[in-house]
Amino acid sequence: MTQSGPALLEIRSVSKRFGGVEALAEVSFEVRRGEILSVIGPNGAGKTTLLNCISGFFHPERGHIRLEGEELSGLAPSRVAARGVARTFQNIALFRGMTVVDNLMLGRHLHMRNGVLSSLVYWGPARREEVAHRRVVEDIIDFLEIEAIRKRPVGSLPYGLQKRVELGRALALHPRLLLLDEPMGGTNREEKEDMARFILDVNDEWGTTIILIEHDMGVVMDISRRVVVLDLGRKIAAGAPAEIKADPAVIKAYLGTKPVADGVAA
């Protein structure tokens, strides 16, 4: 695994309420450059809310979210994306009627420089740009081994493959920080293993920093460098997978009394 460097993302005392519910309360941690960090916790712990705060879908009432020192909280999602933060969603967010290639090309839109007019003419710079982006997309297709479904409409694909395409769509942004919200949810064992391998490969080959939300503890403990545990909106533990497995507070939050075993779902 890649050597972890200084903090890429800094989360300082972030709080978020929905009416009377405190979804996040004073959550603080750092994500180091080049690491895979998992956020775990029982349902309703605030994991997805946290991702939504980072990616700009929600704005926290208090606290700071800084990417390499630059404040993200308060920015619109598109602005956050433009700063190199890409994400996938629990319930796949792709254009179902469009092909895999087209979905990935859309993932490149942030990097497109040509305006509507020159794109309409599709000659010279616009065409060259399209070709360059297609090359990037083809690299991702090759990387994720989805050549066989390149031209298939996303809606016609099995769920596990859609998840993989969604990862591809996020990768097309060439993000500095990748947020994965349950990339293995609802997939079978083989698809899980494939996805785990792709996540490791993305981290390894491109040095992409990854925040992962996942319920499968076996996967989390296998591929994360560090784990942050949330419970009822509060951070109750953070550390290496081995430390987390032995942490009494984590064990209590998850199961009451028994130790966290590999593969136990929340």
Residues of this chain that bind other proteins (CB under 8 A): 1, 134-135, 138-139, 141-143, 145, 147-148, 150, 197, 200-201, 204-205
- d(C-alpha 204, C-alpha 34), whole Å: 9
Amino acid at position 109, single letter: H
Nearer to other proteins, 1 or 21 (CB): 1
Contacts of 116 (CB under 8 A, 6+ apart): none
- d(C-alpha 179, C-alpha 8), whole Å: 13
- 54 burial level (CB within 10 Å; 0-12, 13-18, 19+): buried
Nearer to other proteins, 150 or 215 (CB): 150
Query: Using an 8 Å Cβ cutoff, are 146 and 168 in contact?
Result: yes
Three-state DSSP at 107 gives: helix
- d(C-alpha 213, C-alpha 242), whole Å: 18
Min dist CB 156 to other proteins, Å, is 14
Nearer to other proteins, 134 or 176 (CB): 134
Min dist CB 204 to other proteins, Å, is 6
Min dist CB 75 to other proteins, Å, is 34
Nearer to other proteins, 201 or 222 (CB): 201
Min dist CB 135 to other proteins, Å, is 7
- d(C-alpha 114, C-alpha 100), whole Å: 22
Nearer to other proteins, 70 or 190 (CB): 190
Question: Read out DSSP for 181-207?
Answer: E-TTTT--HHHHHHHHHHHHHHHHHH-
Nearer to other proteins, 11 or 141 (CB): 141
Query: Using an 8 Å Cβ cutoff, are 163 and 187 in contact?
Result: yes
Min dist CB 130 to other proteins, Å, is 14
Min dist CB 235 to other proteins, Å, is 31
